[in-house]
Chain A
């Protein structure tokens, strides 16, 4: 118990802060912060098993998040039948062609020995394949994008419940990670960082501009929900009764009947959105707990020990007969798959997929700040990092406003400096993140909850 005291203390403080937001701002805000904290925690867990367990830098978090989001769209949206009949066959044909090219290249690679001619043949296969695919897919893509472009203009998805997309998101992201890992894991640490950063930009570019698949920057809105809709809840008997029971103390004070009804309505509207958010919190909490159990188990298993050995001394682990390349690839895929789950969860919560909103600062660097601040190598630390950093990211503006008002209290309200500072309050979050990261790296390089490995 004693050795876990700092973990418990840190988490209680964090929960206390969120509850304070609930009391002083509103429970709605507190819950939405809490939900995004949970999603961030899933992302940090993914980044943490790559960086903390294995020492791999993945600056492509944004790309995997976006792929998870894409999975949510492709799983949950109903298929667009007209689009399929207009251009579906062309797209399927191109898909087969891509598979064909891959098989052909693999065949050539296996069958013939390394030579100049082989390289040329492979280049020829790929280039001619790309030209054929473009010829085949172009009319299909144009036809699909012309089907009711204001509302659909894409192939749609499978029409399954959106919750399945969390698994699909993991597979999408894991699949991409497999390809990237095959290509880039041999690079030195900081080059892996740059390569993954750039590859994630390519992923975003494709998602943004392949309208037939994702609707691109036209966004997909109104996705299905795993939770009830507020509007429906507000008309349900049991929910109204529940709200009445909850607020019976406040309602009893009001004697006027019509006024009482109006107040109750207000409570029901507020309550419904809180209830929906609570549903999401429950779902996300389940994911976080499952992942936490799994990652903790893995950390203390022989496999976890091997990963740490590889991280701490690659050559030595290699000499002991551990397949470093294979293990790196495995953990890269696993970590990215977890990030993919988080991406699907994020889109599920928002109910919309906006490819334009994926930016490296928010989805890559911020997650890294979370990992470093929380404590790399420690799952509890990673989750805490997700909570602390996201909380500060949201609450930075109010805190900044307070500080600005405090420091410029002596100035007139119309003084240009004060007006300017108040206008730029939103950017204090960057300052806070940067300074926080620098301070942690300098004075507590292992994070708030440092990695503690005990032999059990």
Chain B
């Protein structure tokens, strides 16, 4: 029985949260990797683009709430996502036309594009803060828990409860649907294949009649979908704050590079690698050992490998180690 308790404990505090957090990172990492693979620059505006998409979704959510529209036990924000994506796509295309296009046509080095993306980062950040303000906002409504800890205890008669938030389930389900559609699109459709060809070898792709304008436009549209959905899922699960979104860019970058930049599947797994290692290394295992070990061997300390303050540092250290020993990432992306 103790063993089951220990397992539930890990499930509750490590597995479920890490799975949800990892999914959010994974979507962001695919976003980074797609931009890198096809448009060929490191997009430092990633976090702020996600926060822009989330902001639009929040504004729509508020509108829907004010007219009394809702999805019952599901959060209203899900209804707002398609509208937000449209807006976000428009925003991305405008930015591309005003800013990135010029450098792409001039074949500027990737460093210059990365620098330009910092300009976009500043502007997007300003726009978000001017429209919605810098404060913390929760926009979740609907049923909060799928399983409450107490219900679970009553149901199973165990000491440890398992609480599953509905946002966690929504995150995981939406991620599965989104990512599998994306991979289907990239691997099976003609447009997706031409995108991959363009990413692999631009000249060859152009030679075989692939329209670069179309590729770029579709990439931005997919990026808009990923940014909005990823941002909204994170905001639903935690809360929306422009500064946190900006900071989230860092683990997202780590995930994309760990997975092998330019490789969407690697980025997807990279998100989970980062999320799980962050939570594994900073969790205090005291209670777990209390269940597993006999009473005489009970530990006195927290049995924590690293204090939770170093949560971010963990993902960055993984990144640094990967960059050192396997610069192309765990799952073979582009060689850096």
Q: B312, A205: Cβ atoms under 8 Å? A: yes
Indicate whether A430 sits within 8 Å of B129 (C-beta atoms), given known contacts A194-B257, A365-B121.
yes
Which residues of B lie under 8 Å from residue A198 when comparing CB positions? Answer: 250, 253-254, 316, 319-320
Q: A431, B115: Cβ atoms under 8 Å? A: no
Which residues of B lie under 8 Å from residue A187 when comparing CB positions? Answer: 323, 327, 336
Which residues of B lie under 8 Å from residue A183 when comparing CB positions? Answer: 320, 324
Q: How far is the CA of A416 from the CA of B33 in the complex (A)?
A: 41
Q: Does A368 contact B (CB under 8 A)?
A: yes
- One of A1-9, A158-166, A434-442 contacting the partner: A434-442
Q: B123, A431: Cβ atoms under 8 Å? A: yes
Q: B310, A205: Cβ atoms under 8 Å? A: yes
Q: B119, A201: Cβ atoms under 8 Å? A: no
Q: A437, B118: Cβ atoms under 8 Å? A: yes
- One of B12-20, B52-60, B106-114, B288-296 contacting the partner: B106-114
- One of A13-21, A41-49, A103-111, A420-428 contacting the partner: A420-428
- Please encode chain B, from 146 to 167, with 1 for each CB lying within 8 Å of some chain A CB and 0 for all others: 0000000000000000000000
- Please encode chain B, from 193 to 229, with 1 for each CB lying within 8 Å of some chain A CB and 0 for all others: 0000000000000000000000000000000000000
Q: B126, A430: Cβ atoms under 8 Å? A: yes
Rounded to whole Å, the gap between the CB of A328 and the closest CB of chain B is 15
Give chain B interface residues in 75-98, CB to chain A under 8 Å.
Answer: none
Q: A199, B316: Cβ atoms under 8 Å? A: yes
Which residues of B lie under 8 Å from residue A431 when comparing CB positions? Answer: 122-123, 126-127, 130
Q: A424, B119: Cβ atoms under 8 Å? A: no
Rounded to whole Å, the gap between the CB of B244 and the closest CB of chain A is 12
Q: How far is the CA of A190 from the CA of B99 in the complex (A)?
A: 19
Indicate whether A435 sits within 8 Å of B317 (C-beta atoms), given known contacts A57-B111, A190-B114.
no
Q: A201, B323: Cβ atoms under 8 Å? A: no
Which residues of A lie under 8 Å from residue B44 when comparing CB positions? Answer: 365
Which residues of A lie under 8 Å from residue B310 when comparing CB positions? Answer: 205, 209
Q: How far is the CA of A424 from the CA of B316 in the complex (A)?
A: 33
Which residues of A lie under 8 Å from residue B111 when comparing CB positions? Answer: 57, 189-190, 193
Interface residues on A, range: 35 or more
Q: Does B69 contact A (CB under 8 A)?
A: no
Q: Which of A193, A428, A438 contacts B114 (CB 8 A)?
A: A193
Q: How far is the CA of A320 from the CA of B61 in the complex (A)?
A: 63
Q: B323, A441: Cβ atoms under 8 Å? A: no
- Please encode chain A, from 166 to 206, with 1 for each CB lying within 8 Å of some chain B CB and 0 for all others: 00000000000000000110011111011101110110011
Indicate whether A191 sits within 8 Å of B323 (C-beta atoms), given known contacts A198-B250, A198-B253.
yes
Indicate whether A430 sits within 8 Å of B115 (C-beta atoms), given known contacts A194-B253, A209-B309, A442-B102.
no
Q: Does A361 contact B (CB under 8 A)?
A: yes
Give chain B interface residues in 315-336, CB to chain A under 8 Å.
Answer: 316-317, 319-320, 323-324, 327, 336
Q: Does A433 contact B (CB under 8 A)?
A: yes
Q: Does B41 contact A (CB under 8 A)?
A: yes
Which residues of A lie under 8 Å from residue B123 when comparing CB positions? Answer: 430-431, 434-435, 438
Rounded to whole Å, the gap between the CB of A310 and the closest CB of chain B is 16
Which residues of B lie under 8 Å from residue A206 when comparing CB positions? Answer: 313
Q: Does A208 contact B (CB under 8 A)?
A: yes
Residue among A208, A423, A441 with most chain B CB within 10 A: A441
Q: B309, A184: Cβ atoms under 8 Å? A: no
Q: A430, B309: Cβ atoms under 8 Å? A: no
Which residues of A lie under 8 Å from residue B23 when comparing CB positions? Answer: none
Q: How far is the CA of A430 from the CA of B45 in the complex (A)?
A: 13
Indicate whether A441 sits within 8 Å of B116 (C-beta atoms), given known contacts A189-B110, A205-B312.
yes
Indicate whether A190 sits within 8 Å of B41 (C-beta atoms), given known contacts A430-B123, A441-B116.
yes
Which residues of B lie under 8 Å from residue A189 when comparing CB positions? Answer: 109-111
Which residues of A lie under 8 Å from residue B307 when comparing CB positions? Answer: 209
Q: Does B64 contact A (CB under 8 A)?
A: no
Rounded to whole Å, the gap between the CB of B157 and the closest CB of chain A is 39
Q: How far is the CA of A441 from the CA of B106 in the complex (A)?
A: 13
Q: Which of A193, A421, A437 contacts B122 (CB 8 A)?
A: A437
25 A-B pairs with CB atoms under 8 Å apart are: A57-B111, A187-B323, A189-B109, A190-B110, A191-B257, A191-B323, A191-B327, A191-B336, A193-B42, A195-B319, A198-B320, A201-B312, A201-B316, A205-B310, A205-B313, A209-B309, A365-B121, A372-B115, A424-B129, A424-B130, A430-B123, A430-B126, A431-B123, A441-B112, A441-B115
B residues in contact (CB < 8 Å) with A: 41-42, 44, 99, 102, 109-112, 114-116, 118-127, 129-130, 133-134, 246, 250, 253-254, 257, 307, 309-310, 312-313, 316-317, 319-320, 323-324, 327, 336
A residues in contact (CB < 8 Å) with B: 57, 183-184, 187-191, 193-195, 197-199, 201-202, 205-206, 208-209, 361, 365, 368-369, 372, 421, 423-424, 427-435, 437-438, 441-442, 445
Beyond A190-B111, A198-B250, A430-B123, list 4 extra A-B contacts (CB 8 Å): A194-B42, A199-B320, A434-B122, A438-B99
